[in-house]
Amino acid sequence: MKSDSLTRAFMILIRRDLMLAVRHRAEMANPLLFFILVTSLFPLAIGANPNLLQAIAPGVIWVAALLAALLSIENVFRSDFEDGSLEQYLLSSHPVSILVLAKIIAHWLITGLPLLLISPLLGILLGLHADAIKVLFITLLLGTPVLSLIGAVGVALTVGLRKGGMILSLLVLPLYIPLLIFASSAVDSAAAGLPVTAHLSLITALLVLSLSLSPFATAAALRVSLS
Amino acid sequence: MFNNFFHRMASPRHFYGLAGTLIPWLAIPCLLLTLAGLYYGLVKAPPDYQQGDSYRIMFIHVPAAWMSMFIYVVMAGAGAIGLIWRIKLAEVVAISSAPIGASFTFLALVTGSIWGKPMWGTWWVWDARLTSELILLFLYLGVIALHNAIDDRRTAARAVAILALVGVVNIPIIHYSVEWWNTLHQGPTVTKFDKPSIHLSMLIPLLLMAVAFKLYYAFVVLMRARCEVLERERNTGWVKELAEKT
C-alpha cells in the first residue's frame, strides 16, 4: 500500500512537470536554441575548414550541451521554490530523495531529450561521419542524465540565493569535467575508427554512480537550503 | 566520562580557550622546522645532477601539493561530522579550512609553474597532475563562493559540508579521468616528473618542510576557527565577558 502511493506520487510529479512544460513551450525551446546557436558560432569564429571542424566537433558539441544543461538546470527547483511547493515535498511522508528523482527525470525529459534528438543534425553540420554521430548520440543519451543529476545538487544548494546562477556554474562545472573528458574522447575515438566500448562503460558507470548518490545529496541540500 | 570529555571539548567556550593555549605550541615548532627545512634544503642539500639548483623549489612545491589534497579531505571529514552529529565545531573547522586549502593549492600551482619554466621551457603544460590541481583549486573556490553567498552562518556551514562531500567523491574520478585524458590525447609525455629514488640529503628537508606545513595548517586553522567561534557566539555571555575584560 505504502509503496503504491509512493509510485503514484512519483508518477504524478513527473506528469505535473511535463504538463507545465507543455504549457510553456517557449521555455522548453530556449535551451535547445542555445545549444544550436553556440555550436554554430564555432565555425564562424574558427573558419569553415572541414578538417578543422571535424577535429573540434566532439568537444564543441559536448561543451555546448554542457552549457545548455547548466542554463536550464536552474529551473528544476526554481519555480517550486518560489510558489512553496518545494516545502510541501519536504513535509510529505514520502522519501524526499525519490520525489527529487522524479523532478530530475521530468527535467531531463524536458531539456535533455530535445538536445539528444537534435544532436545528429549538429554532427552533420560540423561534418562528423555516420559512425561518430552514432557514438555522439549514445554518449549524449548516457551523459545528459548525468548532467541533470549532478546539476540538481548544485541547484539544491543555491536555490534560496538571490544570485544563485553564477555560483551554480562555479559549483557544478568542475564536477562535469570527467564526463566531458570521457564523452568527447569517445566521439574522437569513433571518428578515428577506434573502439569506444571502454569510454561508454565509463560513462555508464558515471551514470549509475550519480543516479544512486545524487538524489540523496540533493535531498540533503534542499533540507539545508529550506531550513 | 568519555562522552563528557567530548561534550566539553565541543563547547565553543572551552574550545576557544584550549585553541588559544595550543596555538603557540604549534606555531613555534612550525617556525623552527621551517627554518631547519629551508637551511637543509637550500644550503646543505647538494644540487641535482640534472636540474641543478632549480629543483630546490620542490621543498615548497611538494609539501604544498600534499597539503592541498590533505586539507580537502579534512574539510570533507569535518563537514561530515558536522552534518551527522550536529557538532558546531566541526562545521567551524570545515569552513575555516577552505581558504587555507585554496592558498596551498594556489601555492603549489605557482611554484610548479615557476619550476616548469626552466625545466619544461613553458609556464604551463596540460599535464595530468597540473590539471587536477587546477580543478582542485576550482573546487575550493566553489566552496568559498558558496559560503560567502549564504548569509546565515549555520546554513552556510551545512551547505558547504554537503558540497565538500560531493567534491570528495568526485576528486578520485576527476583525477583518473584527467590522467586518462592526458594519455589518450598525447601518449606518454616527456614532461612527466620521473621519480628517481630520492637521496636522503634531499628527503630529510622535504619531510621537515612537510611537517612544518602540517603544523602551519594546524595553528592557522585554530586561529581562524577561534575567530569564527567568536563571531558566531557574539551574543552569548562568555564572549561579552571576554570583550569587556580586554
- Chain B residue numbers with beta carbons less than 8 Å from the beta carbon of A157 are 146, 159, 162-163
Please report which helix (H) or strand (E) contains residue A49, including its range. Answer: none
Question: B149-155: which pairs have CB atoms within 8 A and are 24 or more residues apart?
Answer: B149/A158, B149/A161, B149/A163, B149/A164, B149/A167, B150/A160, B150/A161, B153/B231, B153/B232, B154/B88, B154/B91, B155/A224, B155/A225, B155/A227
Dump pLDDT digits (tens) for B7-38: 666 788 888 888 888 999 999 999 999 999 98
What is the span of the domain harbouring residue B134? 14-191+200-245
CATH label of the domain that carries residue B81 = 1.20.120
Quote the pLDDT of residue B6. 66
Tally of structural domains, chain B: 1
Cell of B40: 637543509
| Residue B52 placed within a domain | yes
Residues 152-181 of B with CB under 8 A from A: 155, 158-159, 162-163, 165-167, 169-170, 173-174, 177-178, 180-181
Question: Does the pLDDT at position B1 exceed 60?
Answer: no
Please judge whether B181 and A161 are an interchain contact, meaning their C-beta atoms are less than 8 angstroms apart.
Answer: no
Quick one: average pLDDT of A109-127?
A: 91
Delimit the domains of chain A by residue range: 2-226
Please judge whether B163 and A178 are an interchain contact, meaning their C-beta atoms are less than 8 angstroms apart.
Answer: no
| Residue B1 placed within a domain | no
Question: B3-11: which pairs have CB atoms within 8 A and are 24 or more residues apart?
Answer: B9/B89, B10/B87, B10/B88, B10/B89
Nearest-by-Cβ selection for B146 from A167, A177, A217: A167
Residue B188: pLDDT band (50, 70, 90) is very low
| Residue B206 placed within a domain | yes
Residue B186: pLDDT band (50, 70, 90) is very low
| Residue B201: CB atoms within 10 Å | 12
Nearest-by-Cβ selection for A175 from B146, B170, B184: B170
> pTM for the complete prediction?
0.88
Residue B201: pLDDT band (50, 70, 90) is confident
Please judge whether A181 and B180 are an interchain contact, meaning their C-beta atoms are less than 8 angstroms apart.
Answer: yes
Residue A63: pLDDT band (50, 70, 90) is very high
Quick one: average pLDDT of A43-71?
A: 90
- Chain A residue numbers with beta carbons less than 8 Å from the beta carbon of B142 are 167, 170-171, 174
| Residue B91 placed within a domain | yes
- Chain B residue numbers with beta carbons less than 8 Å from the beta carbon of A170 are 138, 141-142, 145
- Chain A residue numbers with beta carbons less than 8 Å from the beta carbon of B177 are 177-178, 181-182, 202
